[in-house]
């Protein structure tokens, strides 16, 4: 599948399991962006073969042209697309650093709220900061963002 910007892709991930856990428990675990990201980063390479997972500082993928991509999850808490070292307890948002990072990457925003259904949207970082200068998309904006 070719990457198109400002388009929402809809996927469903079948047959997710782990050991003897009930499927609904695995689904519940994978609505946590910290955990789902590890799996989605690899799955995105399959859905979008022009991406290669690199797990580098500041980005997760590169495409065949050398463009950088950073995968972020949209959860019940919304989506924070500032650098990962600015997300979490005791960390703080540094606008200049975050905006500089956004200028360099494309974001792959994955909505995992209804897992195993996953929505995927590619957005240039510079476009996101125009609409969301605090590098955060609230849950209330979910339908607008993925429309």
Residue 1 belongs to some domain of the structure: no
Residue 90 belongs to some domain of the structure: yes
Residue 13 belongs to some domain of the structure: yes
Print pLDDT tens along the chain (147 aa): 889 999 999 999 988 999 999 999 999 999 999 899 999 999 999 999 999 999 888 899 999 999 999 999 999 999 998 776 656 666 666 777 888 888 999 999 999 999 999 999 999 999 999 999 988 999 999 999 999
Residue 104 belongs to some domain of the structure: yes
The pLDDT of residue 68 is: 96
CATH number at residue 138: 3.40.210
Q: How far apart are alpha carbons 136 and 88 in whole angstroms?
A: 13
Q: Which residues pair with 74 in a beta bridge?
A: 111
CB hemisphere CA count around 65 (13 angstroms): 5
Structure tokens at 58: 């500041």
Structural domain harbouring 80 = 8-142
Residue 29 belongs to some domain of the structure: yes
The pLDDT of residue 75 is: 94
The pLDDT of residue 2 is: 87
The pLDDT of residue 59 is: 92
The pLDDT of residue 120 is: 98
The pLDDT of residue 61 is: 96
Residue 32 belongs to some domain of the structure: yes
Pairing of strands 79-80, 59-63: unpaired
Residue 50 belongs to some domain of the structure: yes
Query: Environment class of residue 87 by beta-carbon count within 10 Å: exposed (0-12), middle (13-18) or buried (19+)?
Result: middle
- Give CA 125 to chain center in angstroms: 12
Residue 137 belongs to some domain of the structure: yes
For residues 74 and 111, the answer to whether their CB atoms sit within 8 Å is: yes
Domain count, the chain: 1
């Amino acid at each position: 599948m070719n990457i198109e910007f400002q388009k929402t892709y809809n996927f469903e991930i079948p047959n997710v399991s782990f050991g003897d856990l009930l499927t609904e428990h695995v689904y519940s675990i994978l609505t946590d962006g910290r955990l789902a990201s590890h799996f989605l980063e690899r799955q995105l390479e399959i859905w979008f073969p022009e991406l290669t997972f690199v797990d580098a500082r500041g980005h997760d993928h590169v495409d065949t042209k050398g463009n950088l991509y950073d995968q972020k999850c949209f959860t019940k808490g919304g989506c924070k697309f500032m650098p990962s070292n600015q997300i979490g307890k005791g960390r703080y948002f540094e606008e200049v650093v975050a905006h500089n990072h956004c200028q360099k990457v494309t974001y792959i925003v994955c909505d995992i709220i209804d897992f195993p259904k996953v929505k995927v949207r590619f957005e240039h970082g510079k476009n996101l900061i125009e609409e969301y200068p605090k590098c955060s998309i609230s849950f209330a904006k979910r339908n607008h963002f993925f429309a």
